[in-house]
Amino acid sequence: MFRLLTIKLPFRYFPAGTIIDSSNTVSMRHYEMILQHEPPSALVPPFSEAGFLFNTYEHLQHQQKDGVYILSAVNAVTRFADARCAFFVQSGKAVSPVAAPFGSIEYSSVLPEEVLDLFIRTLIQTVRLAGAVTLQLVNYPLCYAPESAEHLAKKLLTHGFVIGETHPTFYLPVSNSPFDVNLVPAERRRIARCLEAGFRFNQWQSSNSTDVINFLVKTRRQKGYTLTISPERLADLLHTFPSECTAFTVMDGYTIAALTIAIRVRHDILYNFQPASNPDYTAFSPMVLLTKGLYRYCQQHQIGLLDLGPSLDENRQAKPGLVRFKRNLGAQESPRLVFERDLSVL
């Protein structure tokens, strides 16, 4: 059942850039904290900036249909949320996200310092009221928004959070320079071999996602792995977010040599979510050509960051071979921090 709790801030503040008129009065805005439990989508306050897909209400519903709590710091003048955090409670543990690469607190550049502090305190209190004894926040990678991610990390530590995990994500900054510039010579040769064999990079044009999912399931099974997302949820993701989730392939004629599903996490970030290679093409390493195609796609669509993802096995341990491969592509490393808070400690 939908529940709404509004907590008005007990103070006012002077925002940066305030204009003082001739009578020396200061224009001030108010914020209010709004906690919603399983709200109708139309009542969720819109975020004030171009936010991350994984924190939108539509994606939260994809993660889990029921049980979501959404805390928003709403600007009373604009009626937009300048901070938001969604969490789910499972067996006494509140998690953000429940099924996505990251969730945590997302806040705009205009949010005052003291409001962010109050938002974190309010989040801790509301999670307690929801019956959880611990809170886990998976932050977005530092490279996504370095200043705000670092600032948020420092804030969380001052509010009693500890770092539970840290794993690097590998990414390519996208510029006007060719993809090949930062490749090691061996990877350049692999691209040349693929092109000489007639392989072509393509964006998947068919509206039928079955072939994409079957390829991912089959190649994972051949390598002894399972998908990190169920085929049913993956199909729902592709159906629900057709503009944000796109399949790309490297084709040898009518045969898929490599394939990935990429997610436009934000207008300027593309996440290489589900890459897979056909084992019959191991000698060609078509994933290099696929990454080159993704990089070119980013250049064409004004996307400034290509996230190649972490390099972890099913036990969340680093895979040395995959780490080496991404470094050979010129990828840089950026930490993704997981914060935890024991709610029994005040």
Q: What is the pLDDT of residues 67-79, one digit of tens each?
A: 999 999 999 999 9
pLDDT at 218 over 90: yes
Q: Are 62 and 103 in contact (CB under 8 A)?
A: no
| HSE-up (13 A, CA, CB side) for residue 232 | 2
Distance between CA atoms of residues 6 and 313, nearest Å: 43
pLDDT tens readout for residues 93-122: 999 999 999 999 999 999 999 999 999 999
pLDDT at 308 over 90: yes
Q: Are 83 and 109 in contact (CB under 8 A)?
A: no
Q: Are 290 and 248 in contact (CB under 8 A)?
A: yes
pLDDT at 27 over 90: no
pLDDT at 19 over 70: no
The average pLDDT across 7-27 equals: 30
Whether pTM > 0.85 for this model: the answer is yes
What pLDDT band is residue 29 in, cutting at 50, 70 and 90? Answer: low
pLDDT at 5 over 70: no
User: What is the three-class DSSP state of 280?
Assistant: helix
The average pLDDT across 156-163 equals: 98
User: What is the three-class DSSP state of 299?
Assistant: helix
Q: Are 280 and 141 in contact (CB under 8 A)?
A: no
pLDDT above 90 covers a percentage of the chain that reads 84
pLDDT at 269 over 50: yes
pLDDT tens readout for residues 198-208: 999 999 987 68
pLDDT of residue 346: 76
Distance between CA atoms of residues 130 and 120, nearest Å: 15
pLDDT of residue 22: 26
